[in-house]
Structure 1
Amino acid sequence: MDSFRFIVERGPQDLILAGEEALLESVSNGAPPILRFVIFDPTAVLLGYHQAVEQEVNLEEVKKRGWDIGRRPTGGGTIIMGKDQLGWEIYADGHYLGGTPENAIKKGAEGVIKTLQKLGIDANFRPKNDVEVKGKKISGIGAFSIGKYIAVTGTILLDFDAEALVSTLRLTSEKLKDKLAKDFKERLTWISKELGHGIEMGELITTARESFSEALGIRLDDGQYTEEEKKLISQLRLKYASPEWIYNLRKPLAGDVKFIEKKFPGGLVRLQVKMAGESIIESVLLTGDFFIEPRRAIYDLESRLKWSRVDEVEENIKDWYKGVKILGITEQDLLALFNEVLRK
């Protein structure tokens, strides 16, 4: 039976997120595969790779609570991670995970489902990337890759505070805040809620370790980072702590901008288009909680459309789609979104 290294890491967001990038790179360069469990301390509000801080986060509230803000190297939406949420991460050759990011998400979900079953909670996978209990989400999952090597990351909610999450989101009114808090409570669940009592994080970690070993069909050996991984994590912490990465990677366009947002099966898409006259597109910004492979492909599309003609949009999008995959958002979905915003 093949073996993975098993590591539990507790620390601030820049340490943990630097590890996400470093460990995939290390494994892709020949290091042994790894299953890592993480606990964020202090609590952190984490954006998805394609999101803009100004569109998603109530910065004043986050500062008031003394929480960190970070940007994950994966897509998806804004989440809170702290002492009551267990993060899990797998870094391995794709053959352990079904060969594709989509299959890797399902394989990771198996580990979560087995964990919950051992705790007495029935759960199932909900496409595209959730584990649910009686229709309510208890775990969200993301994936990214380097060649045939895949990282799949996710959460298991031991406990959760819906009001705390909603208070840190950027919302337009108190009325909407109350509605969203109620909505989160109806759509999400967590272990202590399902069991009717709390359990220790140590018990969850022990149970999850056994369950992921079974789901992956591998042995887990207590391990540690290689010297090269330690060095790379230390270097990457500067990136994940930097304002450039957190705040400036995806910034809303300034000036007179056409704007539209729409929810698709693959996630929320926010589209901004700035025009130079009636027929020339000056710049484009696409943000949201979607997942795309390769993850930087969205920059290629924005670059293609910059200083292009409106009548070239369809051809550019169709050509771009040949080399990318967005879960749950089709070529026609994106074309329709551009057509709608350009008519404004």
Structure 2
Amino acid sequence: MSWRLIDNEESDIYRNLALEESLARTNAGAVDKTNTVRFWKSEPSVVLGRFQCVHEEVNIEFCRNNDISIARRFTGGGTVFHDEGNLNISFCLDQSESCVSRTLRELYWNFIGTLAKGLRSIGIGASYDPNRSCIRINGRKITGTAGWLKQGVSFIHGTLLLSANLETLRRALSPPPNQPVYLRDGRSIRCKESKKDVVTTIAKEFDSPPNEDEIKQAIIDSIATFTGAEIVKDNFTQKEEAMANSLYHTRYKRTKWNLGTLSESKSRK
């Protein structure tokens, strides 16, 4: 049994998020699903969860003044920060596999927990926190996760803070009062708020941490041990690329999707 590994160099956050959704939706309902692990990185950006409001999560002016893209993914969960010091990891999984759960809680336990085991195997003292579905080092959070379950596919993805700029992260994710209000889906509806936590990076917690390639290999080895699969490097299919291209233009490059519709009401207090 083999699983596909995709480790591409795309850095456009909107293109990357289109590829994420395409990967999940192309496999959902397909007769022959492809179990996939993906490593990816993006330019400096903040990524909102599907059901969040930008003015409640992001310092919009700071992001615009510092060339930090604002994007929205197709999965739920809270807002996260991306830069070159952040490694993103995705799993697109066939629910017919014995190791693949159909509940997010068990998926996180199994696969994010497996990431933590991989980190520990190279001397990084990481532990999985089932209450927040994240990995911690010295009690501080280094991952954020979100997921999607549909038509026989379990899809989860998350961040791993290797050496991200924590000061930029803090400022980008600190919304000031009196920001313009943006309506999600064009109407005033309740937004899901991010759960606040203390974050850190692997680089901050260790004087001589393993490099990125060593971390990736440790993760691959840990996944292979857990699943019993051979992890083989490959690429997106033509069908996945085509759907991603469509989503990129019709959804992810559109202000209405990423920010919402600017409200005529008063600014956020």
Do the aligned residues in 2 keep the contact of 1:112 with 1:156 (CA within 8 Å)?
Answer: no
One-letter amino acid of the counterpart of residue 25, structure 2: E
SS of alignment partner, residue 155 of structure 2: strand
CA distance in 1, matches of 2:110, 2:12: 27
CA distance in 1, matches of 2:13, 2:265: 33
Decide which structure has the larger Cα Rg and report it.
Answer: 1
Q: Which residue of 1 aligns with 2:111?
A: 108
Q: How does 1:1-344 map to 2 (within 5 A)?
A: 2-10=1-9, 11-28=11-28, 29=30, 30-40=32-42, 42-94=43-95, 95=97, 96-126=99-129, 127-169=131-173, 170-172=175-177, 187-238=198-249, 239-248=251-260, 255=265
Instruction: List per-residue Cα deviations over 1:174-225 (Å, max 9, x = no partner).
Output: xxxxxxxxx96xx222211222135432222222222222233321111111
SS of alignment partner, residue 6 of structure 1: strand
Q: Which residue of 1 aligns with 2:182?
A: none
Following superposition, the deviation at residue 131 of structure 1 comes to: 1.3
CA RMSD of aligned residues (A): 2.4
Instruction: List per-residue Cα deviations over 1:130-178 (Å, max 9, x = no partner).
Output: 11123211212211111321101112111132221121131349xxxxx
Unaligned 5+ segments in structure 2 are: 179-195
SS of alignment partner, residue 125 of structure 1: strand
TM-score, reference length from structure 2: 0.82
One-letter amino acid of the counterpart of residue 102, structure 2: G
- Consecutive aligned runs of 4 or more in structure 1 exceeding 6 Å deviation: none
One-letter amino acid of the counterpart of residue 152, structure 1: I
SS of alignment partner, residue 120 of structure 1: coil
CA distance in 2, matches of 1:12, 1:190: 23
TM-score, reference length from structure 1: 0.65
CA distance in 2, matches of 1:214, 1:73: 30
User: Matched residues, percent identical?
Assistant: 24
Do the aligned residues in 2 keep the contact of 1:39 with 1:82 (CA within 8 Å)?
Answer: yes
By relative contact order (CA 8 Å, sep 6+), the higher-ranking structure is 2
CA distance in 1, matches of 2:70, 2:208: 30
